[in-house]
Every structure is written in C-alpha cells, then in structure tokens.
Structure 1
Amino acid sequence: MSRASSDPRQELVEVAARLLTEQGPRSLSARALARETGTSTMAIYTYFGGMPGLVRAVIREGFARLADRLATVHASDDPVADSFQLAIAYRQSAHLAPHLYAVMFGGSSIAGFQLSEEDRRIGLYTLRVARDTVPRCIQAGRFRPADPWSITRRMWCQLHGLVSLELAGYLTSNHPSDDEFRQYLRDLAVGAGDTLEKAQASIALALDRANNT
C-alpha cells in the first residue's frame, strides 16, 4: 500500500502515516517527524503550513490508499459478490492501519485539524466504486429499486460502525469471527432486498476471491 516518492513533502506524509499506523496519534509530533525524515521541524511549516496541514495530507493519503484497495475489486457477473468484496477490502484496510483509519474519520482531534468541505468531498468520492456497484445489484434484481447512493450510504454507515467497534475493542475478542462477519454481510444484502440463499452464495464467492488476491 506504500505510495513511495522522493518528494520531501510526500516523504513527510508517508512517515506520518507510518507513525500513526505503528504507534498511534501520540507519536505524531514535529520533532518526531524531523527525526524520522532527517529534516528540520521547519519543513512541516514549509510544506504544510503547520501540523493541521500535515494531518489533512495524511487523511487524504489514507483515503487514496483505501481507494487503491477498493479499485482492485473488479466488476463481475455477480454484483452482490462485488459489493461484498468491497466491504471485505474496506475492513481489511482498516485492520491493516487502524490508527490511520481512526485519523481518517476522526482527525479533528489531532493538532487542531478541522474537516473542510473539500475533505468531506474527497472522503465520499472514495466510495464511488461501491456506489457504482449498487445500481448493478438493482438491475440484476438482487436489490429492491431505490436510490443507489442512499443504499450505499446506509451500508457504509453499518460497515463503518462495525469496523469502528472492532478496532475499539468493544466486540467479542475485539472482532467478529469469520462466521459472524459472513452473517453481517448476508444481513446487509437481505436488508437491501436480496434473498437469503443468493446472498449466502455471493458471500462465499466474495470470500473466495478475497482469499486469492
């Protein structure tokens, strides 16, 4: 998932993302970044105008990495399996970099950062792959007719809630078992109008694809 670059600005973003991923928000300081990158603390102000600007860049990097991961899911003749595979990729991305994920959806608590309308737009744009999959589910007769973006938002809210609870340690053993997650995906599809049998078949297909990518 690395987006390596010789650009000093990009290096600061990548190091900040790594520190967050490995050590959490407390690790993110101008002094630590200068030490890790071999630059001065002034570089943060030169390239980002200060720590809030760096946090914004890290959040956007996190969404770019998530978009890259979601983009690996290609359209198939089973659009519901595609939507399940996107959900699996989303969850995997969060578990691979939980601190980065937390900052992406709660960065306002770090270094005085405040989410802007453009930040929201970028975050929502990341979901375009999922949003574009839902109409195919409707056209295939698997989901009941409805506004695709509304369905996408509801599914995202439920998935994000599950992932956030997992990462916070509120669920049994810190995360659902594979069987529990399979049931969760099934219920998402059935709630959107799919049949139990078709949803279960699509889940099996999505998990098989995810395990072989």
Structure 2
Amino acid sequence: MPARHSLVWLSADGWQRAAQTAAAGNRAALERWQSHDWPAVLRRREPDTPEEQLCLGLALPPDANGDKARIPFQAQFGDVRRITDPLALRAALPHAPPAWSRALNAFAGDCLHSGIAMRIYGSWAWQVLTQQSYLTRTSDIDLLFTPGSTEEFRRGIALLAQHAARLPLDGEVVFADGQAVAWKECWQALQGDGGQQVLVKARSTVRLVPMAALVSTLESA
C-alpha cells in the first residue's frame, strides 16, 4: 500500500469517474487537473473505504483571502496510471523562493552530508508540480523524513531543530507502517524523560503512542 502524501497520476477514465462522483462545484478543478496531467495526493483513508479504492485529494491555490480549498475524492486502483514518492527536497531546490534559497541550500547540504533524505509536500510541492502560485509570506516548508534507524532519526531531528531557527520547517517523521508524527512533537518528546506520548497519524487512524514505542520500531528494523 502506498504511503500518505504519495503522488498519484490517474488515467483519463479515472479522472472522469472521479469528476462524476465529486461535488458539482469541484468538477471543473478535477477536469483542469486532468487536462494538465497533474497528480493527486494520497490522503488518510476514510472509514469503510473499500480496499480496492484510494482516498485522494488536491489543493487549489489560495484565493484573495489566503484560503486554500482542498478537494477530497476517491479512485479505483485500476484507474491509477502511476504512483511515485513525494518530491525530493534536492529536486525542488531550483524552485525555492529567494527568501528561502540560501538557508534552504545550507539545510539540504547538511542533510546530504549526514546521509539524511528529506521530501516535501504541501504548498511548496503543489507550486513545483503545477507551476501555480501557492506560497505566501506565512507558508511553511512541509517535510517528510523517513529514518531507517534510531541513529538516523536522532541525526535528522537534530538537523531539523538546528535549521528551524532560520527556516519555517514543518512536517512529519514517518515510522514503520506509515505511522507519521510531527517532527516538532518528536523533538519535544526527546527532550523529556522518555515517557511522552505523541500524536500518530496512521493509514486510517489518529491516536496517541509513546515516543519510545515508535523509536523501538526503528531499533528492530
């Protein structure tokens, strides 16, 4: 099963079926996505979703008030043409806004030197993928970090905390089975006595889990 935030390209029939089942006000946006061959994003599964269906979504650029409409919909696995991981941070660097560029390149360089892979999602990813204007002065840099070991997890969290002083770094750490936790929650939990719980977003649920239990999944990987 692909992970949350994966990029999903649908077939022409898939887009047409999605438009037919979507709210009337969203059909034009879905048709535009199809015409440009832009991807949708895999989101958390809704309750009682059949196994052969994916829960997808897309976000529109912010309007004049800064509000960004999000359009949820579903598609059949058979209507999927291609699925990829979210955009790699280094691939997105040429598209970084000038205000972020210098500090972001320094962060990406430190990640490369430390063997840490970061991916992006959210507004910046949508802007890179569609070449539409999503970013505002208050936008965050949404990152995905999937560590393969406890040591890599601690190195990556330390890098995020270090560079967050100069960049609006947000996003999630992804543990085993796609369990995702805000990196800032992880950082705060690591400063405690080890008994802290963190909010975990799983494939179809949201629940509190001890930080130590998540770290143990890395130790046993």
- Shorter-chain TM range is under 0.3
Structure whose residues are more often helix by fraction: 1
> TM-score with structure 1 length normalisation?
0.25
Structure whose residues are more often strand by fraction: 2
> TM-score with structure 2 length normalisation?
0.25
